[in-house]
Structure 1
Amino acid sequence: MQTAQRIIKKYRQKRVIVCVMVALLTLILTLGIRFISQRNLNQERIQAFATHSVTALDKILLPLQNGRDELQSLVGVPCSEAHLMLRKRAATLQTVRSITLVKEGILYCSSIFGDRNVQIRLTQPALPSSQPQLILSTDQSLLKGSPILIQWYPVSDAGEDGVMQVVNIDLITKMMLEPQSPLITDVSLKVGDKFLRDGQSVTDTLNVPEDTMILRQTSAHFPFTILVSGPGASELALKNLPSELPLAVLISLLLGYIAWLATASRMSFTWEINLGLAAREFELFCQPLLNARTQKCVGVEILLRWNNPRQGWISPDVFIPLAEEHNLIVPLTRYVMTETVRQIGYFPANKGFHIGINVAASHFRNGTLLRDLNRYWFSAHPKQQLIVELTERDALLDGDYRLVRELHRKEVKLAIDDFGTGNSSLSWLEKLRPDVLKIDKSFTMALGTDAVNSTVTDIIIALGQRLNIELVAEGVETQEQARYLRHHGVNTLQGFLYARPMPLKDFPKWLAESSPPPAQRNKPILRIMPLR
């Protein structure tokens, strides 16, 4: 049998699990989002660096390309006439180390040295060429051993004549090829099969591990490529992730707390009761009441049972007090009224047969009970006598007694359930004027065994007879108890001696046979659902 503590503990555990899962998921998502964001930012920075390097070199080479027609027209012109023009051109471009004119493979005029007579192949083996060339090489004339970038523009079809512009690449490598740790650890310029790194000479090979190569950016205007190496955007983002942990933990704790607040109603026993009402998981049982002398059934008490598919059978001793505590007892009572009227055909249709429905004191507030009876009971015009059984857990307020008088006017009997265990007093009985007192089973079971409770039972019986109130004894289980009660004037008996609680559909069969329902229907109910 489920207890209130166990059920509430289960719901609390579920809430904790849900909130922990929300917090963990938030932590993972936050760290994941921060990782992806940082990785993308790193990737953007790497791409921007490479693009900037390519653009910077393009800006150096494009002016040289744009002025080539003017320089090509000087090829073949005597150096004495062309020298001044070459010097002016070199001074204007600033990034150019020298401009030379080549005729029939002979470098005959230089912006720096003037007249010359040097085979170009001796200084640059790749020249002359019939095609425009961009060559990464080493200076062999002015600053020997320093890296240079050569632009070659042929004039003749054979390629023996042309213009060679030497760019002082060593001066601009700081701007283009300087790494940006830790994101970028190495930057190289690749032209043809030659490589240049910051602070180093031109090489034929690039001594950088392949697994560190993260980006290659090629110029759209000239045949060169910027090679960027480093640990990678993802690796750096992963290394940076621990610094994001405090914020992620704070956000996850906040959302976990919000989840705790949000699940307060949805993951609670009150939510379970509402769900049970909506899904019609509650079932009506009834327990017959017999005339003590004729042994004939004169009525039934309607009992509510709950077969919860998520928790199993839940005793009324568990869910009824919780429903009263969380203001759900009125919806449960309405459900009982509706279902009783819907299944009213199982009971004898005569005024002498009464049907008892348990009602909490809170249902009397502001005339709510009368409105509900008009809507659910009187509108169906049942022939059976209705008895409203009021438990003593909560006393009625003074204003509720007007409703009691109205119920009497409508011929509804009022019974005090579990009398002797709650808030009863003589003045309360006087104001309420109940029609029936139901002696609690604890007093009935004490007959013949407990002198104190047995005396209290006698007092209750005497009180009922003095006030002319009908008496009903609950919990009658032995013939000795039945004889004692009958001998002392208790006319109606209820208990396992006559019948156990049964589903409403089994009542006609019991009534016809004057015997309890089959044992297999009652055993699980007795094991997990004691009477209220």
Structure 2
Amino acid sequence: MPLHKSRRRARLLRRLLPWLVGALPVLGGLAIMHWQAERELQARAQNSARQAVSHLEQVLDNVAAAARTLLPMAGRPCTEVDLALREQVTRRSFVRSTNLTLDDEIYCTSLFGEFREKVDPTDYTDGSLWLMDGNSVTPGHPLLVYRLSDGARGAITTLDGDHLTSALELIGPDIDLRLQVGAHWIDKLGQVRQGAVPGYPVAPQRVDSRHYAFSVYSGFQAGQAWHLMRSEYPALFGMLLFLGAGSGAACYWQLRRASSPRAELQRALEADEFVPYFQPVVRCGDYRWSGAEVLMRWHHPREGLVRPDLFIPYAEHSGQIVSMTRRLMERLASDLAPHAHLFEDGFHLAVNVTAAHCQDPGLCDDCQALLDAFPPGRVQLTLELTERTPITPGPITDQLFERLHRMGVLLAIDDFGTGQSSLDYLRHFNVDYLKIDQSFVGMIGVDALSLHILDSIIELSAKLGLGIVAEGVETAEQRDYLARFDVDYQQGYLFGRPMPLGDFIKALGDQQRPAVAEATPPLRS
């Protein structure tokens, strides 16, 4: 709405808001998708870790079975049991080597037969498992050692680290899996490291074996959630972009609609922001107020008083001028009726109407409601026909004007002489007054050609028997010139500017007091 120059901040907000609204479903959808992707990754990591634990438990079951078979042989001479040790290596698919111990010392192995090497039970987690980085035979090659003991006797079986790394790789090809045994852990690369297992940025999971002293860690590196979204949710990405574009477009359309002149005028009408202002009209001779033209003004809550030329054309173009004028007449009836005692009989009230009013039969009801609010004969209502939109003659217009005349409502042609339809109005409509435009009045004593036009208009009104009102009288010279030509009524800043209701009533009361005092007979002694 072009009232005043828009605030820069408001314009910036209107430009940014559609982008923000469009980005909202996209960002919200991405957040939900990211949350869903993280949940999916957590489920995958949890499932892979459980599968790894289950598989490694089956492998260790095989290794532990070999140890249980050999444990009863511990303490017997190596020459008697070495064949049994080699048999377990041969028959057990995951067993790499077998050993017998006595008093925490290995004395017989499947590799060397008789062999002496001390055993430190503290190397084994829970006394049963040890993840070691190779031995004297295969240094640097990971081994998982299982120990089973019964008093001084014991059996030790080893598992090749390749079985561990193969299980971690095959179970979770896209997931990082790590096996921890006590203070040591191993990953897919087959390197045994000591210390705490490093955490995972995304979906960290840990699953402990319920049968053996080991744990499996799983998770993903940073950015895996977005990678999953791009690879598995492309359709959702497209839908989010569509929703974002649609939301932004809808917001832009709504802002354009909400900031349109029509929407702003409708809001102002519902808020009752259109108020009447009154400019007095004086009669020739004594120049007393004989009436007033009622002008519509807009008290905007932020912009203040809005000039009529900024909103009246929009109201006429949209057709809202009819509702606005109806509300204006309702306010006239409610605001002026309590002060009717200040009016002389036949006090003129002039209201502007447009072409839209002339096609609305409800105009008669609006006029009748206004007249009924005052005592009979106290107010003379005049409708001034404007020419911003030409009034097309027709049956509806003729019937409307005829009914208005029967009600006692007068018709006047506003700004006569400036529009293209002024003479057509005289020919087609039964009007009562001509209002001389202020542009001709302002040329009194200045421009001779315009003065001749003014004289012609006055002469024309006299020949047609029409009343005449001169607008825009600002100087005494203009007043006196019009008086010499017997112009019926004058209106302009010389007699009073448009004023709100309170000022108009006060000024009207001040004007009435001298007349009342003059008419009151002097007191007798």
CA contact (8 A) 2:95 2:157 kept: yes
> What residue ranges of structure 2 are gaps of 5+ in the alignment?
513-525
Q: Displacement of 1:292 after TM fit?
A: 0.6
- The answer as to whether partners of 1:292 and 1:491 remain within 8 angstroms in 2 is yes
Question: Aligned partners of 1:197 and 1:506: how far apart in 2?
Answer: 92
Structure 1 residue 510 and structure 2 residue 499: aligned? no
Tell me the secondary structure at the aligned position of residue 356 of structure 2: helix
Cα distance, 1:192 vs. partner?
Answer: 1.4
Deviations 1:334-358 (A, max 9, x none): 1211110011223445541121111
The answer to whether the Cα contact below 8 Å between 1:43 and 1:233 also exists between their aligned partners in 2 is no
Letter in 1 for 2:465: N
Q: 1:480 aligns with which of 477, 480, 483?
A: 477
Aligned match of 2:520 = none
Which amino acid in the other structure matches residue 272 of structure 2? Answer: R
- Select which of 363, 383, 404 maps to 2:401: 404
Aligned to 1:388, the other structure's residue is in SS state strand
Secondary structure of the equivalent of 1:493?
A: strand
CA distance in 2, matches of 1:12, 1:264: 17
Query: Per-residue displacement from partner, 1:109-146 (whole Å, max 9, x unpaired)?
Result: 77x66x94445x54x54479795422102454765542
CA distance in 2 between partners of 1:423 and 1:72 (Å): 118
Structure 1: distance between partners of 2:214 and 2:69:
27
Equivalent residue runs for 1:25-36 within 5 Å: 26-27=22-23, 30-31=26-27, 34=30
Counterpart of 1:257, as a letter, is: A
Match of 1:416?
A: 413
Aligned to 1:365: 359
* 1:526 equivalent in structure 2: none
Residue identity matched to 2:268: G
Question: For residues 172 and 6 of structure 2, what CA distance do their matches in structure 1 show?
Answer: 56
Q: 2: distance between equivalents of 1:15 and 1:32?
A: 26
The correspondence for 2:339, drawn from 335, 340, 346, is 346
Report the Cα distance in structure 2 between the residues aligned to 1:388 and 1:297, rounded to whole angstroms.
Answer: 18
TM, length-normalised to structure 2: 0.79
The aligned counterpart of 2:465 is 468
Is residue 2:316 matched to residue 1:330? Answer: no
Corresponding residue of 2:522? none
User: How many percent identity over aligned positions?
Assistant: 28
Asked whether the 8 Å contact 2:49–2:218 carries over to 1, the reply is: no
1:387 to 382, 397, 407: 382
**Per-residue deviation, 1:412:** 1.0
Following TM superposition, by how much is the alpha carbon of 1:316 offset from its aligned partner in structure 2, in angstroms? Answer: 0.9
Equivalent position SS for 2:192: coil
Q: Contact 2:177–2:218 (CA<8 Å) still a contact in 1?
A: yes
Aligned pair in 2 of structure 1 residues 463, 373: CA closer, same or farther (>3 Å)? Answer: same
CA RMSD of superposed structures (Å): 4.3
Q: Give the AA of the match of 1:441.
A: Q
Matches of 2:136 and 2:9, distance apart in 1: 84
Q: Of residues 209, 214, 224 in structure 1, which corresponds to 2:214?
A: 224
Shift of 1:233: 4.2
Unaligned 5+ segments in structure 1 are: 516-532
* Displacement of 1:235: 10
Per the alignment, do residues 301 and 220 of structure 1 end up closer, same or farther by CA in structure 2, a change over 3 Å counting?
Answer: farther
DSSP-derived class of the 2:390 partner? coil
> Post-superposition shift, 1:234?
8.6
Q: Given residue 492 of structure 2, which amino acid in structure 1 is its aligned partner?
A: G
Residue-pair matches, total = 497
Tell me, in whole angstroms, the C-alpha distance in 2 between the residues paired with 1:178 and 1:210: 21
Please say if 1:149 is aligned against 2:148.
Answer: no
Kindly tell me: are residues 54 and 233 of structure 1, through their superposed partners in 2, closer, same or farther at Cα, counting changes over 3 Å? farther
Q: Does the 8 Å contact 1:42/1:233 carry over to 2?
A: no
* CA distance in 2 between partners of 1:313 and 1:508 (Å): 20
Q: Which residue of 1 aligns with 2:180?
A: 190
CA distance in 2, matches of 1:442, 1:287: 18
Matched with 2:283 is 291
Aligned AA (2:96):
R
Cα deviation for residue 362 of structure 1 reads 0.6
Is contact 2:273-2:298 (8 Å) kept? yes
Asked if 2 retains the 8 angstrom alpha-carbon contact of 1:389 and 1:415, the reply is yes
Preserved contact between residue 279 and residue 294 of structure 2 (Cα < 8 Å): yes
d(CA) in 2 for partners of 1:225 and 1:72?
Answer: 23
**Aligned pair in 2 of structure 1 residues 381, 502: CA closer, same or farther (>3 Å)?**
closer
Aligned to 1:95: 94
